[in-house]
Amino acid sequence: MFEDLYLEGKTDEEAVKRLAKIISILRSEEGCPWDKAQTHESLKPCLVEEAYEVLEAIDNKDWDNLEEELGDVLLQVIFHSDLGKEEGKFDLKSIANRECEKMIRRHPHIFSNFSIDSIDTVVEKWENMKQREAQISYTESMKRIPKSLPALRKSYKVQAKAAQVGFDWNDTDSAFEKITEETKELFEAYKKSNQDSIVEELGDLLFAVVNVARFLQVDPEDALNFASQKFIRRFGFIESSAKEEGRKLEELTLSEMDKLWEDSKALY
């Protein structure tokens, strides 16, 4: 009955059709109870998790795993398209065609007589076209940045949109000075034990740090993830050192852990 599903697609089209057919069968009356019960809303965590697993595979330069994780993302797209088809809203064909039209429209330097000579100009024109297509204000475009984005990346995008109209620091030094200012304000809120102000000022400080990251052309998410992984490696050194001495981590004094932390810096 399902013999053809065991055969690999020989072309891109055949492979995608094979996956779409599998999803259709899983969501049919005779299909899998879990797949039949899913909705656009219930699948939201799955799509987010799969996207992050793609990023991790790229960071690890694990190309075999990247292939698998990209397949999981494709599965999510096809799953949503099957739901949309069932609801009479859209399907895989309309999704792909809409994206094709958008790519052609937003690349006039490739598909029409319009020349662009730098990547920065391409990005600028892309954002301008998105703005015109939506016919919305810059403020509205900021509001449309997905709330589910990591906070650091969202603030980066908000700042970048403001910079498009010139609302930005004149130089990197000024952005650094803002960090100093916000740090002082956070410390003052802490000394006054005003929790609401602490939350607000901490947010302002993080926002200022992201601004500096933008000026330095560093992705703050990548930088913070790198710092977290470095912390884990150094903390692991402390724990393994304690184990070698036959001691539990909890038995070490803070000064002993600080000493091991400093030792770990030579390795990590």
Structure tokens at 87: 């609801």
Mean pLDDT is lowest, of 1-5, 45-49, 104-108, for 1-5
pLDDT for residue 116 is more than 70: no
Structure tokens at 129: 């076209």
Query: Percent of the chain at pLDDT above 70?
Result: 92
Q: Is the pTM of this model over 0.75?
A: no
**How high does pLDDT run on average in the chain?**
91
- pLDDT value of residue 40: 97
> Rounded to 5 degrees, what are φ and ψ at 6?
-85, -5
Closest by alpha carbon to 75, among 99, 50, 42, 97?
50
Dihedral over alpha carbons 10, 13, 14, 18 (to 10 degrees): 140
What's the pLDDT tens digit per position in 97-109? 999 998 998 888 8
pLDDT for residue 120 is more than 80: no
- CA dist 198 → 110, 179, 209 (Å): 50, 15, 16
Average pLDDT of the residues in 18-45? 94
